[in-house]
Amino acid sequence: MSVQAAPLPPGSLLESYCVAGGYVDCFIAEVPRAVTLPQLIETFYTSHAFRPERWLIGVLLGKRADNRDVVRLAVGKTESFSAWSVEARREDQILLCDYQGSTRSWLMVRPVPGGTRLHFGSAVVKPGDPIFRALLGFHSFYSRCLLRGALSKL
């Protein structure tokens, strides 16, 4: 179960951020079973890979979230989670906006023969920032680690 970069699928909630000068990425992995969006959300945001980020956001920004908050997000009982709010949601995908409006995080599930394709992507609204450019390689590595973390829980 490898994680690889891929183009955004048609109809993605992240598609509107594919504008000139914008940054959008998409990573995919397939699992040999059916996975729902709530399952992906819960496994993604409770994975060991994501825990350090969740802790840092809680400590540095005071926007703490625990596993119960993740479950509430997964089942659609809240429109906010830690430093993000739900920008859009469909049965197969969710788009989250950070509290400053600078980035987007996106998760999607898509049935494929023999299982489910999991998608994780990000958008940076103003990618010209020198700090973002300097961290782009790390961002790509970290994004793959986050999706692998969800895979390990599935």
What is the side-by-side order of every strand in the sheet holding 84-90? 4-5, 23-31, 115-124, 103-112, 93-98, 84-90, 80-81
- In this predicted structure, the answer to whether residue 131 has a pLDDT above a threshold of 90 is no
Q: How many domains does the chain have?
A: 1
Determine the residue type at 18.
Answer: C
- In this predicted structure, the answer to whether residue 132 has a pLDDT above a threshold of 90 is no
Q: What angle do CA 88, 134, 123 make, to 5 degrees?
A: 10
Q: How far is CA 149 from each of CA 41, 49, 131, 145, rounded to the nearest angstrom? A: 12, 5, 26, 6
* CATH classification of the domain holding 62: 3.30.530
Q: What is the pLDDT of residues 36-68, one digit of tens each?
A: 999 999 999 999 998 888 888 888 888 889 899
Tell me which of 21-30, 111-120, 127-136 is least confident: 127-136
- In this predicted structure, the answer to whether residue 115 has a pLDDT above a threshold of 90 is yes
pLDDT band for position 70 (cuts 50, 70, 90): very high
- In this predicted structure, the answer to whether residue 90 has a pLDDT above a threshold of 90 is yes
Domain carrying residue 71? 4-153
* pTM, 2 dp: 0.92
The mean of the pLDDT values for the chain is 91
Query: Which pairing describes strands 103-112 and 84-90: parallel, antiparallel, or unpaired?
Result: unpaired
